Structure 1
Amino acid sequence: MDSITALLPRDRFLPLSPETTSSGQPRRAGIEIEFGGLTEEEAAGVVARELGGTQRQVAAHDWLIEGTDWGDVEICLDTVLREKAGSAVMDLGLDLSRAVVPIEIVTPPLGPDQLPALDKLRSALRSAGAQGSRDGLLLGFGVHLNPEIADATVEAILPVVRAFALIEDWLRNADPIDPARRVLPFVDAYPRSFVDRLAKDGPNWSLTEFIDIYLKETPTRNRGLDMLPCFRHLDENRVAKALDSAGGLVGARPTFHYRLPDCRIDEGGWRLAYEWNRWTLVERLAADADALNALARDWIEYREALTTTRPDWLAHVEERLCELELWETA
């Protein structure tokens, strides 16, 4: 039998689950793509040619492509140090940093009908010389997906986090991320203590309890699924207070911030649709309450057993997902 990753479509973007928000509007998603090999200006030129619009430099290492088919697209050197540009020494350092610091393209929220153009842009960037995470030893470039939450309720949010936590180990094993990203602390796995709590008690939590437990167990943005922007959107004061001075680095937005995928933009067979569809497995599992609760019970049994190993859980998740055939539902 083919692995699930081999069965996921690469030529189309599967719909989210649910497809619409509680107000009936199609759920949108912002996309962030990190890569090397191009300057900010060169990347801006590619975006403008592919999507239309007018490119404008707004700071030393920041460009804005205004009026594209998607709206305004941001392009920058992905480091907070770019804000200190201006001195000869700092400018030289920033220019040299491109060897390991990525250029980042940040899209506005995209509707389902706009997602296919992402892979056309990916192809154009690759042709222009964009480099991905596996092109060098110290490159840790990623793709961040920001699907809009369906509703600002615990019922809409917690099952998705629960589903991700239960299959995160499998997601990482089925298509391992680049060694540089595993070493760097940008996309660490959720602590097992947090997964245990999600599996056992998650369905009983209120939204406030969920946020409090998350802030206690994993008060960092460096996770494969970073919920801090969403929680700050939902409860500004609670999150800002818990994170103290670091809270200012967390922007508020009503989205899931999925940070796990590598950017493999220079590899011919890689597609953004594939990474998107790996996320849809999470949402579709979350939408199947019976399957999600069954997997949570399986996790508890696995953790309480004395003879199980990590490969046992990975094999079990693979079997469960194969039974559900989540990639086939539409």
Structure 2
Amino acid sequence: MDNITSLIPRDRFLPLCPENTAEGAPRRTGIEIEFGGLTEARAARLVADAIGGRVIEKTAHDLVVEDSEWGAVEICLDTQWRDKAGGKLADLGLDLSRAVVPVEIVTPPLEPGQLPALDRLRGALRAAGAQGSRNGLLLGFGVHLNPAVADETTEAILPVARAFALIEDWLRKADPIDPARRLLPFVDPWPRRLVDRLAGEAVDWSMADFIDAYLAETPTRNRGLDLLPLFRHLDEGRVSGALGDGGLVSARPTFHYRLPDCRIDEAGWRIAYEWNRWVMVERLAADGAALDRLAGEWLDYRAALTTTRGDWFAHLEERLGDLELWTAA
């Protein structure tokens, strides 16, 4: 365990796999960073100091840094009630909510060359007193990665879902997520039934089959990898038909990877490390032979009556050690 996690780079962002879209453009990624310990105004000022731009205050709890080297960056108190700001009682409630509600920085879609500045910003936020997931019992703060899909086809998307399903146990246990986030229903694991289907019958799925199976097995956004925004983008009618109004899902052509903790106050933590763990998923997806082999091993594991969850984690440690998905491209 320690050997593998220690080998994942923290000093650089590995390229996505594939690096470009089907049209030949670099794949962009939006990033969301949640943390405590700072006001929205202070965080916005730090963003502007780190990447340039000017702070615009829409409300006391909703700001934007415009004209930065990334474009427009949003900084807000991450609650739907922030639009009630302005009244004394509402403002008091919002201020009190800071004990458990994070401030969130939301970037526009970033090009690969812009990603290193994320850890420069992380360092500035940490130095100013930003707090991460492990600073309190109920601080379920995370980092969300939203890499654009390479192509809006089954061939480009389904292998990534299969790869994530098969190694999610390792992503969760090799570097365990904070207990508060495990208790809160924000990043629950994919159901075993969905993993079974992705390992087996999914090889013959169309995109409609894939979406239907996902909606049948996990019609919720509270997963470490939330595919509902992508599916609503691809087939709004199918998703809305299953979830009513769409389940308050905003359509976007990205993978919404929300598993990582935000450990911004810990000296050794880097956003690059969490990014590179996602890249491992994409690299496994791109290796068809390795992916099919691991899927077959999962089905054998599930069929054996004497195996435990720990057995699969140990197997993943061995397999991932062989594949070395963290190495430089």
Scaled to the shorter chain, the TM-score interval is over 0.9
Per-residue deviation at 1:59?
A: 2.4
Distance in 2 (alpha carbons) for counterparts of 1:25 and 1:152? 14
1:323 maps to 322
Q: What is the DSSP-based 3-state SS (H/G/I as helix, E as strand, rest coil) of the residue aligned with 2:104?
A: strand
Aligned to 1:298: 297
User: Aligned equivalents of 2:195 and 2:247: distance in 1?
Assistant: 27
Name the aligned partner's letter for residue 14 of structure 2. L
**Distance in structure 1 (CA, Å) of the matches to 2:314 and 2:89:** 52
Q: One-letter code of the match for 1:12?
A: R
Structure 2 equivalent of residue 91 of structure 1:
91
CA-atom RMSD in angstroms: 1.0
Which residue pairs with 2:263 in the alignment? 264
SS of match in other structure, 1:26: coil
Aligned to 1:110: 110
Contact 2:27 2:150 in 1 (8 A): yes
C-alpha deviation, 1:2, in angstroms: 5.0
Give the drift of 1:60.
3.4
User: CA deviation digits over 1:22-60, x for unaligned, max 9?
Assistant: 001111100000000000000000001111111001123
* Corresponding letter in the other structure for 2:278: W
Q: Would you say 1:164 and 2:161 are equivalent positions?
A: no
Query: Counterpart in 1 of 2:206?
Result: 206
Residue equivalent to 1:273:
272
Q: Kindly state the Cα deviation for residue 97 of structure 1 after the two structures are TM-superposed.
A: 0.3
Return the alpha-carbon distance in structure 2 between the equivalents of residues 266 and 30 of structure 1.
22
1:176 corresponds in structure 2 to 176
**In structure 2, C-alpha distance between the alignment counterparts of 1:329 and 1:126, rounded to whole Å:** 28
Counting only pairs closer than 5 Å after superposition, residues 307-322 of structure 1 correspond to structure 2 as 307-322=306-321
**Where does residue 147 of structure 2 map in the other structure?**
147
Per-residue Cα deviation, 1:114-165 (whole angstroms, up to 9, x for no partner): 0000000000001111000001111010000001100000100010011000
Which secondary structure does the structure 1 equivalent of 2:284 belong to? helix
Query: What is the CA distance between 1:84 and its match in structure 2?
Result: 2.1
Deviation at 1:248, TM superposition (A): 5.2
Which segments of 5 or more consecutive residues in structure 1 lack a partner in the other structure? none
SS in 2 for 1:34: strand
TM-score under structure 1 length normalisation: 0.98
Report the AA paired with residue 318 of structure 1. Answer: E
The aligned length equals 329
Residue 48 of structure 1 pairs with residue 44 of structure 2: no
The equivalent residue for 1:251 is 250
In the alignment, the residues of structure 2 paired with residue 63 and residue 237 of structure 1 have an alpha-carbon distance, to the nearest angstrom, of 34
**SS state at 1:76 partner:** strand
> TM-score with structure 2 length normalisation?
0.98
- Which 10-residue stretch deviates more, 60-69 or 236-245? 236-245
Other-structure match for 1:125: 125
5+ residue gaps, structure 2:
none
The secondary structure found in structure 2 opposite 1:25 is: coil
The separation in 2 between residues aligned to 1:131 and 1:222, in whole angstroms, is 23
Report the more deviating stretch, 85-94 or 142-151.
85-94
Q: What corresponds to 1:241 in structure 2?
A: 241
Give the partner amino acid of 1:49: D
| Overall identity of the aligned pairs, in % | 72
Which portions of structure 1, spanning 4 or more consecutive aligned residues, are displaced by more than 4 angstroms? none
Distance 1:7 1:98 in 2: 36
Q: 2:284 maps to which residue?
A: 285
